[in-house]
Amino acid sequence: MRRIVRKDEAERREARDGFPRTVYLMIEPRTAGAEHLAMGSEEVPAGSQIPLHVHAEAEEILFLYEGAGRARLAGQEVEVGPETAIFIPPGTPHGFVNHTHEPARLTWTFSPPGEEAKFRAAEAWKHVPAAAASERGTGDRRD
């Protein structure tokens, strides 16, 4: 099991729901043997969003570390910028809208783990092999 995972080594998934975004599965039971949490990152391009959804059992923390947008939480929308943490209790409808002209980058953490498995659902998320990302010139490293 791996304990240190760089983004360019993480399992990469791209949304198929009409709202382009990329998820990186980093620390979770399957990759690191984590028992009590799952963590990864997500990139939301300008003009896209994380649609409203609910996690019935898991708490979630979203941490926006780059970019800006509107956090949607329990019927409210709040402008958020870099270095903002958002706590989402179980059963709370939530999402994120990137209404800016720059990408937004955030991390997500679930406790208990389990919600990250939904990113592996082939009908909703497409797996992108690391080599394919490099060949397209969309690798994860920034100069």
pLDDT attached to residue 130: 79
Is there a contact between 42 and 12 (Cβ–Cβ < 8 Å)? no
Residue 139: pLDDT above 60? no
CA 138 to chain centre: 17
100-116 confidence digits (pLDDT tens) = 999 999 999 999 999 99
The domains of the chain, with CATH numbers, are 7-135 (2.60.120.10)
Report the share of the chain in percent with pLDDT over 90.
88
d(CA 21, CA 119): 12
**Alpha-carbon distances, residue 104 vs 44, 49, 76 (angstroms):** 5, 10, 20
pTM of the model: 0.89
Mean pLDDT of the chain: 92
